[in-house]
Amino acid sequence: MPGKEENFSEWYNEILQTAEIMDVRYPVKGLYVWFPFGFAMRRYVYDLLRSLLDRDHEEVLFPLLVPEQEFMKEAEHIKGFENEVYWVTRGGQNELDVPLVLRPTSETAIYPIFKLWIRSHRDLPIKVYQIVNTFRHETKHTRPLIRLREITSFKEAHTAHTTWDDAENQVKDAVKLYKDFFTQLAIPHLITRRPEWDKFPGAAYTIAFDTIMPDGRTLQIGTIHNLGDNFARTFDIRYEDAEGEQQYANQTCYGISERCIAALISVHGDKKGLVLPPEVAPYQVVIVPIVFSDERKAEILDAAGSLLLRLKEEGVRVVLDDRDERPGAKYYRWEQKGVPLRVEIGPKDLDEGVYTLARRDGNPKSKVRFDEIFDRIKTTFEDIHANIQKNAEEAFKSKIKDCRTFDEIKDATKSGVARIYWCGNPDCGQRIEDQLDLSLLGISEETDDHGSCIVCSKGNSRVSYLARTF
Amino acid sequence: MPGKEENFSEWYNEILQTAEIMDVRYPVKGLYVWFPFGFAMRRYVYDLLRSLLDRDHEEVLFPLLVPEQEFMKEAEHIKGFENEVYWVTRGGQNELDVPLVLRPTSETAIYPIFKLWIRSHRDLPIKVYQIVNTFRHETKHTRPLIRLREITSFKEAHTAHTTWDDAENQVKDAVKLYKDFFTQLAIPHLITRRPEWDKFPGAAYTIAFDTIMPDGRTLQIGTIHNLGDNFARTFDIRYEDAEGEQQYANQTCYGISERCIAALISVHGDKKGLVLPPEVAPYQVVIVPIVFSDERKAEILDAAGSLLLRLKEEGVRVVLDDRDERPGAKYYRWEQKGVPLRVEIGPKDLDEGVYTLARRDGNPKSKVRFDEIFDRIKTTFEDIHANIQKNAEEAFKSKIKDCRTFDEIKDATKSGVARIYWCGNPDCGQRIEDQLDLSLLGISEETDDHGSCIVCSKGNSRVSYLARTF
């Protein structure tokens, strides 16, 4: 496999295939097939996301098909999507009376129903989410998990509140929730407020999470939108307040797609294949019996089999690789798949009453006594997570460079992200973007650091980031 | 609420709304919205289905959009679906070069990839499943969870094997799996082999599960198809056998949709609302504090709150209804939602050190000592499941009548299902269907009982069923 920094695209395509994550051979551009192993990763990652959301959201499910008249209601929203929505125009042999849009996102499917659900201030807040497939007719270069025509795994949350301040607080809660999620995946991220010209169509403003991919480009992995009462006015979502007055609801929405899995793969993977935090690894432990001679084979396989059962009972996701193959070939296969911990059992181990442990994140092998294996696995998983996180953060930080001149920016963004001061003025922002052919991610939500705007030199300008983006 | 036997449609529509399962107000015919409570039911039901499948299937995910050329490959299959598929013809402002079908089911999406996955007999068997949305442009009367334009929750399994016999065995395994599933939902069912003219388009044969709804009509709730090598020939799915010869694969597929939830609601529900087996009830226990006076209010709420925490710790899905309302109103609400067990805590209970238990399935109230609550809940859940199952089976059996004449059939199928002998000859079968305007479900897979064909009097004819169907 090539190095992921040197040739990211090649590395990425190869790992998707060798680790059996996505099959890219589906006969339509931009549509891909989740292999069983890839889908298992998806399941654990989305279980995690669900468990965070379930604390104070309810899961729902709205239809995929949006009738033309609803889709066409919100002017800015249409402008943002009309060039990339798919239209269903025929049913059976007949033209449909009303063309239907495949949701590119579900505001226009959900908000006509919110209008019915919301009558009084006592109905608020509403906090729901769904995990669904959404569609974009991408004309640009498509890429599995990153730029898709069918986004198979879009988690979109939608909330409604009485006041702007409540919506603001919900945005803060969502930022915290997304931070938790990406921290549990050990994915470092920038949190910025997108420039006005790059916000979600129809939103008051957009907060975005970006990570930095191995080639230095940023990948947007989550967005949170304060919609104010824009959509409420369009879809007539009103409530009666405590004084009996009709008021428009204030809304937010926030989404995460399978790009979180693209990030998981790319941020942690290496030349051997996947590296996964134990919490989301489809297999957390692989047991490899080391059999040199027929003489002790049964004994070793017995020990391996009984360890398998014991670990399963403890809820560890474990696989026993007892196929008739060289250990080296087995190591290679399970390293490709990112199994965090390998337990080897050979004749010498049996004699000494120990297992040999090998960690996917690269630390030297160690031995553990039979009766200490559970505790050791638990602490080793924690240690692996911490180590993966540390490595990811170091790589992340090394890719962000403070820049004071356009030349420094050009240099920094060849392989990473430029950290600059920007006054917030769209003229300055768009001038940098156009002149350098880069994207301004927006003003950092994580620091109050101030300096002079890199374009107009205005003081008290805030930290912002420039990058090549996916 | 009306009685479900007397006016099923009205009862069904009302329960969907009052128990908050589906919102029927989405502005496109045949598309509905899952309320949070309905979605929670769906989650537990499909968790159960997943756990059964995960024993020896792998979950995957294939694209929704099928290109015209793949969809058009299997002649019988097209004939079966061409009048009811949705076509995507536009992307953004442009016509698509290749029109895309919204999958009505995924054979034509999956099997071109099976062709790539299957090379050698060592690659077989393959057993995968996915849970996805599928689409039918229904022109008939649509109905939530039963006849839909977007089937939101289609579990479809697809398997490939070396031989016809292996595929046969897989059909048997699938029948067993579906029996397990419906038994855990306490849903009685008929298992029949569909007549030739009613099998899945492109299949060698179809085994179907039907339950009987309160109005006596049957609802098909699961199908299992032996595809033989029909699709393998169309999609060129071949493997090299042990002798190095190229052979076509033998395939099966089997599906269950959200009709399983329609059945769950309809088979067990009553005039008060939902009745649910504890395993799939979104809330298994509701705690209702009975407060007569302010004096002991704090004490009672404390006891209720601490029971809530203890039950949660034990993994019981429990809700505490401490709203400022009369107990009667609370009972009513949670009965509508089918909560299997209500725990009341009043001043007298506190004094005696007991909780009062009320079962949704109608048995009289009972008392349980504080320290015996966990054991009692466990045994009560088992008892409730058994009781629900017994009631459902009695109702089911009472709706099936042995019939020896056409007049008896006419009479029996007014409110149920006619059990007849049928020789298996299509001429006889279609004659009964046409003459009586009923559907022949097919020959029973559950009994070897024999008799004279109701049409031609041929001896040794097998048991079959006639019904009005959804």
Would you list the DSSP string of B14-34? HHHHHTT-EE---SSTT--EE
Residue A83, SS3 per DSSP: coil
Contact A465, A417 (CB under 8 A): yes
User: Which one of A41, A65, A114, A131 would you mutate to disrupt binding with B, by most B Cβ within 10 Å of its Cβ?
Assistant: A65
Helix (H, G, I), strand (E, B) or coil at A16: helix
Inspect the interface and report whether the beta carbons of A34 and B60 lie closer than 8 Å. Answer: yes
A139 with B92: Cβ contact below 8 A:
yes
Tokens of A61: 């499910």
Q: Nearest residue of B to residue A98 by CA position?
A: B28
- Is A60–B87 a contact, with Cβ atoms under 8 angstroms apart? no
**Lookup result for tokens 């071949």:** B238
Question: Pick from A40, A88, A113: which is nearest to B33 by CB?
Answer: A113
Strand ranges inside B268-405, DSSP E? 285-289, 318-320, 341-345, 354-359, 366-369, 400-402
Residue A137 and residue B92: Cβ atoms within 8 Å?
A: yes
Token pair 């505790």 in the structure block, residue = A375
Q: Locate the chain A residue with the closest alpha carbon to B101.
A: A88
Query: A56, A61, A86, A116: best mutation site toward chain B, by most B Cβ within 10 Å?
Result: A61
Residue contact B83–A70, C-beta within 8 A: no
How far is A275 from chain B, CA to nearest CA, in Å? 21
* Consecutive H or E run containing B158: strand B150-161
Report which secondary-structure segment, H or E, holds B127.
Answer: strand B126-135
CB-based contact A284:A361 (threshold 8 Å): no
pLDDT at B81: 86
pLDDT digits 0-9 by tens, B351-378 = 999 999 999 998 789 999 999 999 999 9
Using DSSP's 3-state secondary structure scheme, residue A453 falls into coil
B248 forms bridges with which residues in the sheet?
B238
Question: Which residue of chain B is at minimal alpha-carbon distance from A86?
Answer: B91
pLDDT at residue A293, rounded to an integer? 85
What's the complex ipTM? 0.96
What pLDDT sits at residue B202? 92
CA distance A145 to chain B (A): 13
Tokens 């391996």, located at residue? A304
b/e code B394-423 from CB counts within 10 Å (16+ = b): ebbeebbbebeebeebbebbebbbbbbbbb
CB of A409 within 8 A of CB of A415? no
Show the tokens assigned to A383. 């240690």
pLDDT at B79 over 90: no
pLDDT of residue B293: 85
DSSP A93: T
Q: What pLDDT sits at residue A346?
A: 95
For A113, name the nearest residue in chain B, comparing CA atoms only: B26
Q: CA of B55 to nearest chain A CA: how many angstroms apart? A: 14
| Residue of B23, B33, B119 best to disrupt the A interface, most CBs of A under 10 A | B33
Contact A87 B90 (CB under 8 A): yes
Report the distance separating Cα B32 and Cα B188, nearest Å: 27
**How many Å apart are CA A340 and CA A358, to the nearest integer?**
9
Residue B186 pLDDT greater than 90, yes or no: yes
Per-residue pLDDT of chain A (470 residues; tens, 9 = 90+): 889 999 999 999 999 999 999 999 999 999 999 999 999 999 999 999 999 999 999 999 999 999 999 999 887 778 888 899 999 999 999 999 999 999 999 999 999 999 999 999 999 999 999 999 999 999 889 999 999 999 999 999 999 999 999 999 999 999 999 999 999 999 999 999 999 999 999 999 999 999 999 999 999 999 999 999 999 999 999 999 999 999 999 999 999 999 999 999 999 999 999 999 999 999 999 999 999 888 899 999 999 999 999 999 999 999 999 999 999 999 999 999 999 999 999 999 999 999 999 999 987 899 999 999 999 999 999 999 999 999 999 999 999 999 999 999 999 999 999 999 999 999 999 999 999 999 999 999 999 999 999 999 999 999 999 999 99
pLDDT value, residue A82:
86
d(CA A360, CA A281): 12
- Superfamily of chain region B400-467: C-terminal domain of ProRS (3.30.110.30)
Helix ranges (H only) for B399-470 are 406-412, 426-436
Contact B155, B131 (CB under 8 A): yes
- Inspect the interface and report whether the beta carbons of B88 and A84 lie closer than 8 Å: no
Q: Chain B residues with CB inside 8 Å of A87's CB? A: 88-91
Query: Residues B23-70: pLDDT tens digits?
Result: 999 999 999 999 999 999 999 999 999 999 999 999 999 999 999 999
> Quick one: tokens of B288?
């209702």
CA of A65 vs chain B CAs: smallest distance (Å): 8
Using CB atoms, which residue from B61, B83, B88 is nearest to A152?
B61
Q: Give the best residue of B56, B85, B88, B135 to mutate against chain A (max A CB count within 10 A).
A: B88
| CATH architecture for residues A401-467 | 2-Layer Sandwich (3.30)
Partner residue opposite B63 with nearest CB, options A59, A82, A150: A150
Neighbours of B450 (CB within 10 A): 11
CB contact under 8 A, B28 and A82: no
> How high does pLDDT run on average in chain B?
96
Q: What is the pLDDT of residues B95-111, one digit of tens each?
A: 999 999 999 999 999 99
Contact A268, A276 (CB under 8 A): yes
Mutate to test the interface with A, among B26, B126, B132 (most CBs of A within 10 A): B26
Which residues of chain B does A128 touch, with a Cβ-Cβ cutoff of 8 Å? 36
Single out the residue of B423, B396, B399 nearest to residue B413, CA to CA.
B399
How far is residue B204's CA from residue B400's CA, in Å, rounded to a whole number?
A: 29
CATH class given for the domain over B285-380: alpha beta
* Distance (Å) of CA B167 to CA A140, A320, A391, B173, B460: 43, 28, 49, 10, 28
Partner-chain contact B113 A82, CB within 8 Å = no
Is the per-residue pLDDT at B197 higher than 90?
yes
Q: Which residues of B touch A90 (CB under 8 A)?
A: 86-87, 89, 99
Q: What is the mean pLDDT of residues B184-203?
A: 96
Write out the two tokens for A381: 């998983």
Q: What does DSSP say about strands A150-161 and A250-256: parallel, antiparallel, or unpaired? A: antiparallel
> What pLDDT score was predicted for residue A292?
85
> What's residue B38's pLDDT?
98
DSSP-derived pairing of the beta strands A126-135 and A58-59:
parallel
C-alpha B102/C-alpha A123 separation (Å) is 36
pTM over 0.90: yes
Cis omega (within 30 of 0) on the bond before A125?
A: yes
Span B237-253, pLDDT tens digits: 999 999 999 999 999 99
CA nearest neighbour of A215 among A401, A467, A456: A467
Local structure of A73: helix, strand or coil? coil
Contacts of B63 in chain A (CB under 8 A): 26, 28, 31-33, 150, 152
CB contact (8 A) between residue A28 and residue B112: no
Rounded to an integer, the average pLDDT of B246-271 is 98
What's the CA gap between B197 and B403, in Å, rounded? 23
Say yes or no to pLDDT of B408 above 90: yes
Residues forming a β-bridge with A357: A343, A366
CATH code at A8-268: 3.30.930.10
Give CATH superfamily name and number for A283-382. Anticodon-binding domain (3.40.50.800)
Question: Does B212 score more than 90 pLDDT?
Answer: yes
pLDDT of residue A133: 98
Domain positions in chain A are 8-268, 283-382, 401-467
- Give the SS3 label for residue B79: helix
Q: Which of A187, A357, A362, A164 is nearest to A270 (CA)?
A: A362
Q: Which residue of B has its CA nearest to A109?
A: B26
B48 closest CA partner among B266, B278, B308: B278
Q: Do B61 and A25 touch (CB under 8 A)?
A: no
* Residues A161, A108 contacting (CB under 8 angstroms): no
Residue B25 has its nearest CB partner, among A31, A84, A116, at A116
Distance CA(B26)–CA(A66), nearest Å, equals 10
Cis peptide bond N-terminal to B125, omega within 30: yes
